[in-house]
Structure 1
Amino acid sequence: MKQAGTLAGAVTRLGKREIGLVATLFCVAALVLGFGLIADEVMEGDTMGFDTRVARFFRPAGASGPIGPDWLHEMARDVTSLGSMVVLCFLLAAVVGYLLLIRKRGAALLVVGSILGGTVISFGLKLLFNRPRPEIPGGIQVFTASFPSSHAMLSAVTYLTLGALMTRVAAGVRLKAYFMGLAVCLTITVGLSRVYVGVHYATDVLAGWCVGSAWAVLCWIVALRLQRRGQVERPGEEQGTQDLGAP
């Protein structure tokens, strides 16, 4: 009876795991589909009315700058830098260095692969669509195409990946929710700041969120599958390294 109960429990856990995998893959597919629909509408020029209305909300016609006092403008510039390549590279180096110090080489490699892969996809999509930037005087100087927003995409990839890593540390549901909530908040704030400072259309940011989130979730699925196969170290495998598990 005890063996039968153990077997039934294992089957139940396996069933829940597979259901979770299917649900997660469905989420990835929905995000990719969302990106495709936005991209199709952008290429046909059907989003300009929406993009213009959102841009006018933050920067009314004839205004010399975005709405709000000067301190809010400076704050937006600070916030938008949280999605810049410089800041994200510093953050990546810090996290990877920590993982290497605690001998989580597999986890470090997966984090690097996730973020560098997202970077390649982002700039590849920019070259493919080659959408011009909004023509707003006095904005931040930029050098790449507009669609999709690399700040929105890479902040989603980076912060969601790191948020998922931190859930491996958290002991309770509230802490796990806190870390993931913080990651989502940072991702959304960076994306909104890009529209506020006038360097992106709203659809650029929406598309960046879609593809960035899809890539982050897909990388997380791959990481968990590798961990279950023993190809990535599990949390606490190395002596004195209870801090972080593989992504």
Structure 2
Amino acid sequence: MRFLRTWLEPRTLAVVLLALAVGGFVVVAHEVAAGDTLDVDRTIMLALHPQPDGGGPMWLQSMMRDATALGSTLGLSLVVCLAVLFLLLSRRGSMALFVLASALGGILLSTLLKEVFSRPRPDVIPHGDFVTSASFPSGHSMMSATVYLTLAILLIRLADTRVQKCYIVGAALLLSGIVGLSRVYLGVHWPTDVLAGWLAGGAWALGWWMVAELVWGKRG
């Protein structure tokens, strides 16, 4: 029984969460493609910006720009590179490859999804950040979920207690959550773009969680 709890529990949880994330993304994507989310998206964005010009307190705008940098290409690239270098110095080449493959695969998936849906950026308020790609799904939200949750997968293998593991996962979710909310506040993504990004990034990270469990099991 101890063996079954140790070996099956994380894998069962990963499969269930993965199915929920993928299913959630499919539902959101279908609704977005049908145009059924536009009213809700606009309502949420306008609720965040009651001023006609879409502005807000300067301190809050500055804070949101700082927060969105946590999911920027440069910010996440630095995090991934530093993590990969540390793992290589620690002679954990397979884990370094794990992090790199998850991040690069996430970028490719995000780019592909944006090309497939080609959703225009919001036009409700002036953009608070420079953007060039399509809107759906949010690349910042998806990649922050991918990178931070992938690193959390590795860190929880070093944690001794359930409380520590919950803290690590919670921190990763908090970081990706802050990034997604900042994208909506800055007016560069619809709320459903961010929701889809979280779901897609979470599903991608969960897939790599299953890989980690199969490859390393309880080994660090």
The match for 1:115 is: 103
Residues of 2 paired with 1:51 and 1:219: CA distance? 31
The match for 1:144 is: 133
The match for 1:242 is: none
Residues of 2 paired with 1:175 and 1:214: CA distance? 22
Residues of 2 paired with 1:169 and 1:17: CA distance? 17
TM-score by length of 1: 0.84
Residues of 1 paired with 2:12 and 2:160: CA distance? 26
Aligned counterpart for 2:7 among listed residues 13, 17, 32: 17
The match for 1:188 is: 177
Aligned counterpart for 1:32 among listed residues 11, 14, 22: 22
User: Would the alpha carbon gap of residues 86 and 43 (structure 1) be closer, same or farther in structure 2, given more than 3 Å must change?
Assistant: same
Residues of 1 paired with 2:21 and 2:192: CA distance? 14
Deviation (angstroms), 1:134? 0.6
Aligned counterpart for 2:58 among listed residues 61, 66, 70: 70
The match for 1:168 is: 157
Aligned counterpart for 1:44 among listed residues 28, 34, 40: 34
Q: SS state of the match for residue 23, structure 1?
A: helix
Larger Rg: 1
The match for 2:84 is: 96
Residues of 2 paired with 1:204 and 1:111: CA distance? 25
User: Would the alpha carbon gap of residues 217 and 81 (structure 1) be closer, same or farther in structure 2, given more than 3 Å must change?
Assistant: same
Aligned residues: 219
Deviation (angstroms), 1:138? 4.6
Aligned-pair identity in percent equals 43
Deviation (angstroms), 1:226? 1.5
The match for 2:45 is: 55
Flag as ranges the 4+ runs of structure 1 deviating above 3 A.
none
Q: Deviations over 1:12-62 (max 9, x none)?
A: 423653354233212101111110110110011000011011101111262
Alignment RMSD: 1.6
TM-score by length of 2: 0.94
Residues of 2 paired with 1:20 and 1:98: CA distance? 26
Q: SS state of the match for residue 134, structure 1?
A: coil
Paired letter, 2:186: V
CA contact (8 A) 2:53 2:126 kept: no
User: Would the alpha carbon gap of residues 21 and 173 (structure 1) be closer, same or farther in structure 2, given more than 3 Å must change?
Assistant: closer
What stretches of structure 2 of length at least 5 have no aligned partner? none
User: Would the alpha carbon gap of residues 140 and 108 (structure 1) be closer, same or farther in structure 2, given more than 3 Å must change?
Assistant: same
The match for 2:210 is: 221
Residues of 1 paired with 2:173 and 2:144: CA distance? 9
Residues of 1 paired with 2:6 and 2:163: CA distance? 22
Residues of 2 paired with 1:18 and 1:199: CA distance? 41
Find out whether 1:80 has 2:83 as its counterpart: no
Find out whether 1:158 has 2:147 as its counterpart: yes
What stretches of structure 1 of length at least 5 have no aligned partner? 1-8, 236-247
Q: SS state of the match for residue 133, structure 2?
A: coil
Q: Deviations over 1:157-179 (max 9, x none)?
A: 01111122221222222222221
